[in-house]
Chains A and B, each alone.
Chain A
Amino acid sequence: QITLKESGRTLVKPTQTLTLTCSFSGFSLTTGGVGVGWIRQPPGKALEWVALVYWDDDKRYSPSLKTRLTITKDTSENLVVLIMTNLDPVDTATYYCVYSQGSRTAPGAIDYWGQGTLVTVSS
Chain B
Amino acid sequence: EIVMTQSPATLSVSPGERETLSCRASQSVGSNLAWYQQKPGQAPRLLIYGASTRATGIPARFSGSGSGTEFTLTISSLQSEDFAVYYCQQYNDWGEWTFGQGTKVEI
- 7 cross-chain pairs, A with B, having the tightest CB-CB distances, nearest first: A60-B95, A109-B34, A109-B49, A113-B43, A49-B97, A47-B99, A107-B91
Given A63-B1, A110-B36, A48 contacting B91 (CB threshold 8 A): no
Asked if A46 is at the interface of the complex by the 8 Å CB criterion, the answer is yes
Which residues of A are at the interface with B, using a C-beta cutoff of 8 A?
35, 37, 46-49, 52, 54, 58, 60, 63, 96, 100, 102, 104, 107-111, 113-116
Given A46-B102, A110-B34, A113-B44, A52 contacting B89 (CB threshold 8 A): no
> What separation, in Å, do the CA atoms of A115 and B38 have in the docked complex?
12
Contact sample, A vs B, 29 pairs, CB 8 Å cutoff: A35-B95, A37-B97, A46-B100, A46-B102, A47-B87, A47-B89, A47-B102, A49-B97, A52-B95, A52-B97, A60-B96, A63-B96, A107-B32, A107-B91, A107-B93, A108-B49, A108-B91, A109-B34, A109-B49, A109-B89, A109-B91, A110-B34, A110-B46, A110-B91, A111-B46, A113-B44, A113-B45, A115-B43, A116-B43
* CB-defined contacts of B87 to chain A, threshold 8 Å: 46-47
